[in-house]
Amino acid sequence: MIKTRITAWALAAATALTPLTAQAGEIEWLQWFAAEDTSGFYDQLVADFEAKHPDITVKLVTQPFGKVRESIVTDNAIGVGSDVLGLNMPWTKEFLDIGILEPLDDYLARDDNSFATGDLVEAPLGKIEGHTWMVPLNAFPFVMHVNMGLVREAGFDAPPATWEEFAEQAKAISALQDGTSGIGMPFSSQPPSNGPILTFLPLLYANGGRIMDGTTPNFDNPKVVETLQYLKDMQDAGGIAPGAASRTGGVDLEEFIAGRTGFLISPGVHSSSITGRNTEMDYTLARVPSNGEHAYRVHGWELGISADSDNKDDAWTFVNYLLSPEVNARAAKAANALPGNLKALDAVREGADETLIKQMDILEGDTPVEEMRQSPKAVGSWSVMTEEIQAMLRGDKTPQEAATAVQARWMDLAG
């Protein structure tokens, strides 16, 4: 009788604890990608994978983008982290400090991969601390969205290609009527407080500047100061919509869609929202105006493997599947993005949205840049930039003083 009871208790305890331990062949994929898709594409993607790999099941865990970074950190701390992680490049350094990510070098060197490492978008692959930590599912280049109706009304017949033309057109559009502005700058402190990486960095890269020297902050350099000065001058000339310090990225996009700003610097993927929601806008997209350099900021949806995963091989099998040219092309098309595997470019081009094809055409040959992955703290870094640029636009600091302050505060963050 006692033996039976002990056995029953043991079985009950084992059953209760089962969900806490990973099952062989069962992996979890935490990401925000499916939250931005309404077609059920990612459920289908997982189903297709499971059909091809009957020994592996994938649990799709979807959260909004703003929640994923916190979840990865806290899940990892209590030992329930997902196996495959949807990642954002700027999170890299702080995740490495915590020890969340598994180095992918050995996996990338495997002979049986469905892709060649050389075909992948380069930015996420760059080594930090001697290793590669993530691979690109897709890529979103930054472009300038243009309301050609306002550009023409202001007396121009083509989008600006240079900084000089950009400043001139922005000022002319602001002068058109009350409530219309050349461009908005989303430098609000409200979360995620990332305005500078949306607008300032694309302009800096088009000016040939950089903010990092490897993994060392290098913000107080002449190119940064020159770009900050350009923004200040444009604001003083009236080209920037009033209220930059309380303007969020979301509001900035909405204002452009509503036809109240002539230009919007943001990821090219926003073109589908713009053309879908304001069908009457005379819309085009162009390269971010250059001051001598043809470089563009790129960010993307990356994939990594948790260092604590019990099923790393299965996790890699899934990542490998997502990076194969055929699957990667489907994933890129679903997100209206460029593929992480450049071998999928032709497949993406076939039947792709017209604006996506235009992005490929205008950016061909330009240099993609992503530096935030090397910055010491993702959100902390861009909050600091936001606060100092706010102070500069208010006139409390000169561009040089703002750049110096960012550099000093970043060095503190880097420890």
Binding site for another protein (CB under 8 A): 70, 73-74, 77, 94, 97-99, 179, 188-191, 193, 241-247, 251, 260, 377, 379-380, 383, 386-387, 390-391, 394, 413
Residues 356 and 365: their CA atoms lie apart, in Å, by 16
344: left (phi over 0), alpha (psi -120 to 50) or beta: alpha
Distance CA 67, CA 60 (A): 15
| Nearer to another protein among residue 57 and residue 278 (C-beta) | 278
155 or 242: CB nearest another protein: 242
Q: What minimum distance in Å lies between the beta carbon of 150 and another protein?
A: 15
CA-based radius of gyration for the chain? 23
The residue among 71 and 272 lying less far from another protein, judged by its C-beta, is 71
In the complex, the smallest distance separating the C-beta of residue 75 from another protein, rounded to whole angstroms, is 11
CB nearer to another protein: pick between 299 and 377: 377
Least CB distance to another protein at residue 304 (A): 17
CA pair distance 92, 189, nearest whole angstrom: 23
Strand blocks (E) in 156-294: 181-183, 212-213, 216-217, 261-267, 283-286
Q: For 225, phi and psi rounded to 5 degrees?
A: -60, -40
Minimum distance from residue 185 beta carbon to another protein (Å): 11
301: enclosing H helix or E strand: strand 295-305
Smallest distance, another protein to C-beta of residue 86, A = 18
- Burial of 153 per CB tally in 10 Å (0-12, 13-18, 19+): middle
Which residue has 């208790």 as its token pair?
A: 9
The DSSP symbol for 116 reads -
Cβ proximity to another protein, 58 vs 241, nearer residue: 241
Q: Least distance in Å: CB of 246 to another protein?
A: 3
Closer residue to another protein in complex, CB, 190/215: 190
Q: How many CB atoms lie within 10 A of CB 32?
A: 18
In the bound complex, what is the minimum distance in angstroms from residue 188's beta carbon to another protein?
7
SS3 (DSSP) at 216: strand
| CB nearer to another protein: pick between 181 and 355 | 181
Q: Give the nearest distance from C-beta 412 to another protein in angstroms.
A: 11
For 341, phi and psi rounded to 5 degrees?
Answer: -100, 110
Q: Are strands 181-183 and 57-62 parallel, antiparallel or unpaired?
A: unpaired
**357 versus 391: smaller Cβ distance to another protein:** 391
